[in-house]
Amino acid sequence: MDIATDSRPDYNQLILADRINGRIYYDPAVFRDELEKIWHREWVYVAHESEVPEAGDYVTRQIGLQPVIVSRDDAGKVHLLLNRCTHRGNTICQSERGNSHAFRCAYHGWTFNSRGDLVGVPYAAGYGSTFRKDEFPLAKVPRTGSYRGLIFGSLSPDGPSLEDRLGPAKALLDQFVDLSPEGELVVRSGVLKHSYRGNWKMALENSVDGYHPNILHHAAMVMMTRGKADMEAIFGERSDARARDLGNGAAQLDLNPIQVRSGGRVVPPGWSKAAHEEYRASMERRHGAEGADRIIAQGGPHFCIFPNLILILNQFRVIQPVSADETVIYYYPTMLKGAPDEINQRRLSETYLVHGPAGRVAPDDFEAYERNQVGFQARVNEWLLLRRGLHREEREAGGAVAGHETDETTQRAIWHYYRALMTRQ
Amino acid sequence: MRLISEFAVVEIERDDSGNGPRLLIRDARSGQYIYLDPLELAALAWARHEDLMPLMDPSRFDRHSRNGV
CA distance B29 to chain A (A): 13
Q: How much is the pLDDT for A1?
A: 42
User: Looking at the partner chain, which of A74, A104, A111 has a beta carbon nearest the beta carbon of B50?
Assistant: A74
CA distance A346 to chain B (A): 32
Please count the other Cβ atoms lying within 10 Å of the Cβ belonging to residue B56.
Answer: 18
User: Looking at the partner chain, which of B7, B53, B57 has a beta carbon nearest the beta carbon of A100?
Assistant: B7
Q: Is residue A27 part of a domain?
A: no
Residue A196's pLDDT band (boundaries 50, 70, 90)? very high
B61 touches chain A (CB under 8 A): yes
Q: Do B62 and A121 touch (CB under 8 A)?
A: no
**Is the per-residue pLDDT at A265 higher than 70?**
no
Q: How far apart are CA A333 and CA A317, in angstroms?
A: 9
Q: Is residue A383 part of a domain?
A: yes
Q: How far apart are CA A345 and CA B58, in angstroms?
A: 45
Q: Is residue A188 part of a domain?
A: yes
3-class DSSP assignment, residue A414: helix
B6 touches chain A (CB under 8 A): yes
Q: How far apart are CA A106 and CA A7, in angstroms?
A: 43
**Same-domain pairing of A124 and A196:** no
What is the per-residue pLDDT across A122-171, written as a single tens digit (0 to 9) for each?
999 999 999 999 999 999 999 999 999 999 999 999 999 999 999 999 99
The last residue of a domain, from among A154, A177, A209: A154
**Same-domain pairing of A133 and A252:** no
Residue A110 sits in a domain of what CATH number? Answer: 2.102.10.10
Tell which of B7, B51, B64 to mutate to test the A interface (max A CBs under 10 Å). B7
Q: How much is the pLDDT for A299?
A: 86
**Same-domain pairing of A232 and A114:** no
Q: Which of chain B's residues have a Cβ under 8 Å away from the Cβ of A111?
A: 56-58
Q: Is residue A9 part of a domain?
A: no
Q: Is residue A403 part of a domain?
A: yes
Amino acid found at A264: G
Q: How much is the pLDDT for A5?
A: 59
Vertex A163: Cα angle to A413 and A55 (nearest 5)? 120
Q: How far apart are CA A26 and CA A325, in angstroms?
A: 6
A55 touches chain B (CB under 8 A): yes
**Same-domain pairing of A104 and A172:** no
Strands A302-305 and A250-254: antiparallel
Stretch A246-272: mean pLDDT: 80
Q: Which of chain A's residues have a Cβ under 8 Å away from the Cβ of B50?
A: 74, 113
**Same-domain pairing of A213 and A270:** yes
Q: How far apart are CA A49 and CA A129, in angstroms?
A: 41
Q: Which of chain B's residues have a Cβ under 8 Å away from the Cβ of A93?
A: 6
What is the CA A379 to chain-centroid distance, rounded? 31
Chain A's closest residue to B3, CA to CA, is: A99
Q: Which of chain A's residues have a Cβ under 8 Å away from the Cβ of B59?
A: 120-124
What is the per-residue pLDDT across A40-79, written as a single tens digit (0 to 9) for each?
999 999 999 999 999 999 999 999 999 999 999 999 999 9
Q: How much is the pLDDT for B69?
A: 46
Q: Is residue A344 part of a domain?
A: yes
Ranges of residues in chain B with a pLDDT under 50 are 64, 68-69
B16 touches chain A (CB under 8 A): no
A245: left (phi over 0), alpha (psi -120 to 50) or beta: beta
Q: Which of chain A's residues have a Cβ under 8 Å away from the Cβ of B65?
A: none
**Same-domain pairing of A108 and A256:** no
A240: left (phi over 0), alpha (psi -120 to 50) or beta: alpha
Residue A141's φ and ψ, nearest 5 degrees, are -65, 125
Q: Is residue A17 part of a domain?
A: no
Q: How much is the pLDDT for A268?
A: 56
A65 touches chain B (CB under 8 A): no
CA-based R_g, chain A, Å: 23
Q: How far apart are CA A374 and CA A332, in angstroms?
A: 28
Q: Which of chain A's residues have a Cβ under 8 Å away from the Cβ of B58?
A: 104, 109-111, 120-122
**Same-domain pairing of A53 and A186:** no
**Same-domain pairing of A106 and A198:** no
**Same-domain pairing of A260 and A146:** no
Contact assessment for residue A389 and residue A210, using Cβ atoms and an 8 Å cutoff:
no
Number of domains in chain A: 2
Residue A276's pLDDT band (boundaries 50, 70, 90)? confident
Contact assessment for residue A43 and residue A162, using Cβ atoms and an 8 Å cutoff:
yes
What percent of chain A has pLDDT above 70?
97
Tally of residues, chain B: 69
Q: Do A104 and B7 touch (CB under 8 A)?
A: yes
**Same-domain pairing of A90 and A185:** no
- Domain of A184 in residue numbering reads as 167-423
What is the per-residue pLDDT across B25-40, written as a single tens digit (0 to 9) for each?
999 999 999 999 999 9
Residue A258's pLDDT band (boundaries 50, 70, 90)? confident
A101 touches chain B (CB under 8 A): yes
A103 touches chain B (CB under 8 A): yes
Residue B33's φ and ψ, nearest 5 degrees, are -145, 165
Q: How much is the pLDDT for B16?
A: 95
What is the per-residue pLDDT across A206-243, written as a single tens digit (0 to 9) for each?
999 999 999 999 999 888 888 888 888 888 989 999 99
Q: Is residue A408 part of a domain?
A: yes
Q: How much is the pLDDT for B66?
A: 57
What is the per-residue pLDDT across A397-425, written as a single tens digit (0 to 9) for each?
989 999 999 999 999 999 999 999 999 98
Q: How much is the pLDDT for A229?
A: 83
B49 touches chain A (CB under 8 A): yes
**Is the per-residue pLDDT at A264 higher than 80?**
no
**Same-domain pairing of A97 and A218:** no
3-class DSSP assignment, residue A329: strand
User: Looking at the partner chain, which of A93, A111, A121 has a beta carbon nearest the beta carbon of B6?
Assistant: A93
Rounded mean pLDDT of chain A? 94
Residue A227 sits in a domain of what CATH number? Answer: 3.90.380.10
**Same-domain pairing of A138 and A172:** no
Q: A270 or A331, which is more confident? A: A331
**Interface predicted TM-score of the whole assembly (ipTM), two decimals:** 0.85
Which parts of A312-361 fold into alpha helices (H)?
341-355
Q: How much is the pLDDT for A123?
A: 94
What percent of chain A has pLDDT above 90?
84
